[in-house]
Amino acid sequence: MKNFLLVGIGGMIGALLRYSVMVTAPDMIVLWLENGIGSLVLGWLTGRAVATGKTASILWTTGVLGSFTTFSTFSAEWLGLMQENIALAVVYGLGMTLACFFAAALGFKIGGFSK
């Protein structure tokens, strides 16, 4: 039951943070910010967990970051672009995927994993 509460509280925090980004950042970069920051922080948490031998907290991983980032919105935007301009959609999809991968890798490195 404790884990459910942690995920729920984290989810509420993440959703409020996500909404804060949505109302303050320009529409064109909201999803990039949310997914990029989320990937960086999740990479950092994972790097810390590997470096310390502890597990990352589900409050932060599943809860906060799970509701802060969004794959479903990315998928819907990508599908919309595919219907309009396939070349732009490919660039968008690859760009977002690579940006988030490198953000996670950077976070992992900063988090303490040094191999």
What's the pLDDT tens digit per position in 61-113?
999 999 999 899 999 999 999 999 999 999 999 999 999 999 999 999 999 86
Average pLDDT, the chain: 93
What is the arithmetic mean of pLDDT over 44-48? 92
Is 66 part of any known ligand binding site?
A: yes
pLDDT of residue 53 exceeding 90: no
- Under the banding of pLDDT at 50, 70 and 90, the label for residue 54 is confident
Burial class (CB in 10 A: 0-12, 13-18, 19+), 107: buried
d(CA 40, CA 105): 7
